[in-house]
Structures are given as structure tokens and as C-alpha cells.
């Protein structure tokens, strides 16, 4: 997701033993490059990102997670799996805009 939305910010803290999860929508994606093919390394996230209600949430969008997150082979080879916790910690402009547009036009969330 962050590959195509450069305003998203990774946590990048020291990962712990907690395993990153992905929701139904993001299932199968590499957390760095959004690739659907060749998952290789299991994602580990930091303790803060797995604390309390954040536990088991999607690393990319924050929805309830259904499967484990993986880095793809390319990202593993580029050592993107060693750059810290890959949890997205902000909303991003697209989601913020969507929120305000919904509010403005009074659309109900599906």
C-alpha cells in the first residue's frame, strides 16, 4: 500500500515476536510492495503495534486480520524485511479526503 501511497508512514520500531496480520482485503499482499506473488518471509511487528485493541489488526489498513503477513521474495532480497516494524501508523490523504467527502455529502459508510 505504501508503495502506491507515498504519504503513508511505517512504524519502523524494533520488531518483537508478534506476527503481522492482513485483513480480507489485503490478504496475499506483500506489506512493502503490494506484490501478490512469492511470499517469503513472515512479517514481525513491534510490541506497541500489537498492543491492546491493535492486536491481530491488518498491518496495512488496520481492519481485523485474517491471515499472516509476508514479505515477498524481492523485498526479502532487498532486505526490506530488516528495516523495522512495517505497520502503517497514519491514515493517509486518500482516506482523510474520503472521510471529509462522506461528511460533506452525507453518504453513509457501507
Partner 1 sequence: MVKSSIVVPPQATGGISRKRLPQDSQGAEIPAEVYFEEKPKRPRLQLNTDGNQRNQRLFGVLLGTLNKFKDDSENKSDAEKKRLAIESKLQEKLANEKKEIGEEIQAEREQKQQAIEARKRQAQRALEEKRESVVLRQHKNQAHFLMTKTSPSLCYLPATLTEKDIAILEKQSNLAKVAQEEFEGRQQARTQDDIKDSTLVQKDTSEVPSPSVAPSEAIDE
Instruction: Compute the least distance from the CB of residue 36 to partner 1, in Å.
Output: 5
Residue whose CB is less far from partner 1, 7 or 24 = 24
Nearer CB in complex with partner 1: 66/98: 66
Q: Name residue, grid cell 453518504.
A: 107
Query: How many Å apart are CA 58 and CA 76, to the nearest integer?
Result: 20
Closest distance between partner 1 and the C-beta of residue 52, in Å?
26
CB of 28 to partner 1, least distance (A): 5
Burial (CB < 10 A; 0-12, 13-18, 19+), residue 41, is middle
Shortest CA distance to 43 belongs to which of 27, 61, 28, 31? 31
Q: Which residues sit at the interface with partner 1, rule CB under 8 A?
A: 24-25, 27-28, 36, 66-67
By DSSP bridging, strand 70-72 and strand 39-42 are: antiparallel
If the CB atoms of residues 43 and 49 are measured against partner 1, the closer one turns out to be 43
- Min CB(26)–partner 1 separation in Å: 9
Pick between residue 36 and residue 99 the one whose CB is nearest to partner 1: 36
Amino acid at each position: 500500500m505504501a508503495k502506491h501511497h507515498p504519504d503513508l508512514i511505517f512504524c519502523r520500531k524494533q520488531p518483537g515476536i508478534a506476527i503481522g496480520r492482513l485483513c480480507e482485503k489485503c490478504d496475499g499482499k506483500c506489506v512493502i510492495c503490494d506484490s501478490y506473488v512469492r511470499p517469503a518471509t513472515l512479517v514481525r511487528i513491534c510490541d506497541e503495534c500489537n498492543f491492546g485493541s491493535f492486536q491481530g489488526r491488518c498491518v496495512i489498513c488496520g481492519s481485523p486480520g485474517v491471515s499472516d503477513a509476508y514479505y515477498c521474495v524481492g523485498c526479502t532480497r532487498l532486505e526490506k524485511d530488516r528495516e523495522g516494524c512495517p505497520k502503517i501508523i497514519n491514515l493517509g490523504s486518500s482516506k482523510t479526503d474520503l472521510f471529509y467527502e462522506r461528511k460533506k455529502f452525507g453518504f453513509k459508510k457501507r
